[in-house]
Amino acid sequence: MSFSLLSTDCPAVQVFASSVYRNSAMDTTALVGPNIPGATTWRKQANQNVAVGDQTARYGAGLIGVPDGPTKIVLTVGTGLSLAVSKGHAMIGGPVEIPANTTVTVPDNTSRVWIWLLQTGAVLLPTTTTAPPAGECCLIGSCATNAGIVTSVDYSGVMYLRGGIGVRQTNDTGPPADTPPSTVVFIAATQGGYYFWNGAAYTGLAGSASSEGVSSSLFRQLLFILTELIGSEVLFTDDLQSEYELASAEV
């Protein structure tokens, strides 16, 4: 996967525009609903609603992003100006599904075309600026075009959800130069290493952005950060307690 763009050349990290209210006159409509055919049975409807809850628990819904894994959304060069998009999910206040492999037509002779998935459904919308389309949406990648064909695909700036933690990779040589919203926290990966965005600034972590695994020191720092965010009520096994004590000493 290619991550060739600087953070300042990518769309901003997306955040939710409004709150969700339950049992209130302000708002009683679900943000994301399952795609249930009108003629289906109530049992299938119930099962699909429960599946949405399962997906939310599995992926986490605190960030707008693409759940990482073997079935994540992937862009590939198609024929001509057709960009192939694999089936998969994005979390946009809840799971939004691309139910089957599909394609999106992109404009020609454009240095960067951004591909977005909208919360209102599996609608793939290409834009030629870093400004997101109207409404809640998730960046799933970008491409470049020239002389009637798609020449490259890139994933810089895409927020991937790994175990409920957001990870966003760009081609900065050190810490990212952008300023994400103060209402989110995530890990940024660059040529210079890993950086934790705490809502106000990037803090450097140990490890290499190009490494395939996570070093024990990086694991300890991540454990320390998560523990500080969640609070002291987290229950540790003996092994994790030892790692946390090591992390406290390192930090």
The reported pTM is 0.70
Are 111 and 18 part of one and the same domain?
yes
Same-domain status, 128 and 217:
no
Residue 146 has pLDDT above 50, yes or no: yes
Residue 251 and residue 234: Cα distance in Å, rounded? 19
Domain that holds residue 87: 1-177
Give the three-state DSSP class for 140. strand
CATH code for the domain of 16: 2.80.20
Same domain, 188 and 168: no
Give the pLDDT mean for 106-114.
96
Same domain as 205, residue 150: no
For residue 237, count other CB atoms closer than 10 A to its CB: 8
CA atoms within 13 A on the CB side of 149: 6
Q: What are the tokens at 125?
A: 């919308």
- How many structural domains compose the chain? 2
Give the SS3 label for residue 159. strand
Planar angle of CA 34, 36, 40, nearest 5 degrees: 150
Alpha-carbon gap, residue 116 to 11, rounded angstroms: 11
* Residue entry with tokens 């695994």: 213
User: Do 90 and 123 fall within a single domain?
Assistant: yes
Asked whether residue 189 falls in the same domain as residue 72, the answer is: no
pLDDT higher for 214 or 195? 195
Q: Cβ(192)–Cβ(24) under 8 Å? A: no
A 10 A CB-CB count for 227 gives 17
Instruction: Please tell me the predicted confidence (pLDDT) of residue 70.
Output: 78
What are the tokens at 195?
């950086």
Residue 7 has pLDDT above 60, yes or no: yes
- 25: tokens are 């006159």
Closest CA to 85 of 145, 153, 146: 153
Say which residue, 120 or 140, is predicted with more confidence: 140
Relative orientation angle of helices 238-250 and 216-230, to the nearest 10 degrees = 100
